Amino acid sequence: MGDHVKYPEGHVLLRKFHEALPVIDRGEGIYLFDTSGKRYIDGSCGALVTSVGYSNKEVVDVITQQLAKVPYVNGNHFTSRACEDLATLLCDRAPGRLDRAFFLSSGSEAIEAAIKFARQYFVDLGEPSKYKVIARTPGYHGNTLFALSASGRPRYKKFFGPLLHDVVMLQTPYEYRAPVEPYEGAGEDFYIRQLEDTIAREGASTVACILLETVSGTSTGGSCAPKSYFRRLQKLCREHKILMIADEVLCGVGRTGTFYAAEQEFFEPDLMILGKGLNGGYAPLSALLTRTDLVDVIAKGSGSFMHAQTYINTPSSVAAGLGVVQFLDRHRIIEKSRETGAYFLSELKRRFEKHPVVGHVGGRGLLAGLELVKDKRSKAPIPRSLKASETLGRVLMDKGLVSWFNTGQIDGTEGDILVLGPPLTITKTEIDELVGLLEEGVNTWFASFSKNLI
Ligand SMILES: Cc1ncc(COP(=O)(O)O)c(C=O)c1O
């Protein structure tokens, strides 16, 4: 095996058939090194995962101790000290009365479990007519079939239409492309009215839950809702007995400057989903949080939650979450990341807001998005046929910067967003290095790409 592998070499099913992938060797802090010795800054934590950096010894120690004691037991047979401890840590700081945690492997699985929980809750409550799910577009909740159904990502659904479920869709608040101005005020009213109209149209007695990202992740590059949006949404949901599921797979666990993104939105979700940054990339782990009063309805009704998988509440995976949360707490990483996050966003704005191809720089905490456009004034997107994201992504990788791109957020096809989210442990000096490399990469790419935009 060489330093790169391209399909059909080897036996791994690499999902991109036309790209040669570098073979990774090791990671250290915010850096990755491939087998040729090339160094990369991980500007996006892979897919917004590696929250506490690579080779974090404190996290590795917690996991290895757990592996040596007992790696796996079935969640139907046993609980474990690791599970009990992580559940307590997560619930003690959770917004509202979230006081129960259930551990799974991926974000998508936890979304599926949350939807099933909401449905079973209403059946056990004696309200079986409540089954509909409301979600928002653009948005992303995962790639398993129901999570995909609830995702506002038409491109991802292209081949799977007949296999997907009906999900009622609202528009995600997205300041840069909001249909009504000002965003705070008329914009907020617009989005809230959409929910009111939707509930009236569908009938509250048929709606079980609404699924939303507290801060919108890769779909809009970290856009935040208008100030009172979530509080007003919560009031409506309570009036109509609709459960709110906050998807914080991407924006939770410190990514936006507080442990839970919901803390800054002053609402109390009925269910909360975590993933990615919770495990820091040290093991597949996601979490579903909910409340005892909701669980009690199921306990007194059908008697058990009808969602089990082989790896629920697995001690060694949970140990990864425990190691990450303890590390974040011990070193006050999230508190410190507020300052580095503010610096990161201000540096991105300073260097890119005037760039001819960057229409918008936004985000919160250490989550940032740069929307690429053809025309800053009209906000016209770069035609997707020009593959701006793909070509820029390649230049950045060549320069040694890992980043994340999303496309199609405007209408399912058009739109290019560069998403950044380095480890929460990043220092100001490392931010300078990251942003400097990004600027160099964007300028190199634009020098040849700009001719396409004339
Ligand atoms: C907001 C959000 N929810 C859910 C998921 C799905 O998580 P996973 O890929 O671990 O299944 C993702 C993944 O990108 C996400 O960003």
**Ligand 1 atom nearest to CA at 275:** 10
| Percent share of the chain, pLDDT over 70 | 100
Instruction: Give the closest residue to 182 by CA, choosing from 227, 136, 219.
Output: 227
Enter the pTM of the model.
Answer: 0.98
pLDDT (average), residues 433-453:
97
**216: Cβ below 6 Å to ligand 1?**
no
Find the 135 Cα to ligand 1 centroid distance in Å. Answer: 14
272 and 144 in one domain? yes
**Ligand 1 atom nearest to CA at 142:** 6
271 and 404 in one domain? no
Residue whose CB lies within 8 A of the most ligand 1 atoms, among 250, 253, 260, for a mutation test: 250
278 and 367 in one domain? no
226 and 94 in one domain? yes
Find the 146 Cα to ligand 1 centroid distance in Å. Answer: 13
Which tens digits make up the pLDDT trace of 216-250?
999 999 999 999 999 999 999 999 999 999 999 99
| H or E element at residue 32 | strand 31-34
Looking up residue 437, the CATH number of its domain turns out to be: 3.90.1150.10
Find the 86 Cα to ligand 1 centroid distance in Å. Answer: 20
Is the distance from CB of 368 to CB of 12 less than 8 angstroms? no
Which residue, 330, 363, 390, sits at the end of a domain? Answer: 330
Find the 110 Cα to ligand 1 centroid distance in Å. Answer: 9
Query: Residue whose CA is closest, atom 13 of ligand 1?
Result: 142
Q: What is the 3-state composition of the chain as percent helix, strand, coil, each rounded to the nearest 5?
A: 40, 20, 40
Total domains present in the chain: 2
Spatial separation of the C-alpha atoms in residues 331 and 329, rounded to whole Å: 6
Find the 330 Cα to ligand 1 centroid distance in Å. Answer: 27
pLDDT at residue 195 greater than cutoff 90: yes
**107: Cβ below 6 Å to ligand 1?**
yes
**274: Cβ below 6 Å to ligand 1?**
no
31 and 161 in one domain? no
Q: What is the crossing angle of helices 428-449 and 333-352, to 10°?
A: 30
Which tens digits make up the pLDDT trace of 133-190?
999 999 999 999 999 999 999 999 999 999 999 999 999 999 999 999 999 999 999 9
108 and 44 in one domain? no
261 and 187 in one domain? yes
Looking up residue 119, the CATH number of its domain turns out to be: 3.40.640.10
**222: Cβ below 6 Å to ligand 1?**
no
**421: Cβ below 6 Å to ligand 1?**
no
Find the 402 Cα to ligand 1 centroid distance in Å. Answer: 18
Find the 343 Cα to ligand 1 centroid distance in Å. Answer: 26
220: which 2 tokens?
A: 């809009």
392 and 267 in one domain? no
Helix, strand or coil for residue 173? coil
Which residue, 297, 330, 363, sits at the end of a domain? Answer: 330
403 and 274 in one domain? no
Which residue, 330, 362, 391, sits at the end of a domain? Answer: 330
256 and 236 in one domain? yes
179 and 44 in one domain? no
**Ligand 1 atom nearest to CA at 109:** 11
66 and 20 in one domain? no
Q: What is the pLDDT of residue 349?
A: 98
Q: What is the pLDDT of residue 90?
A: 98
Range of the domain at 213: 58-330
**250: Cβ below 6 Å to ligand 1?**
yes
**Ligand 1 atom nearest to CA at 286:** 10
| Distances, alpha carbon 37 to alpha carbons 2, 10, 33, 437, in Å | 12, 21, 6, 18
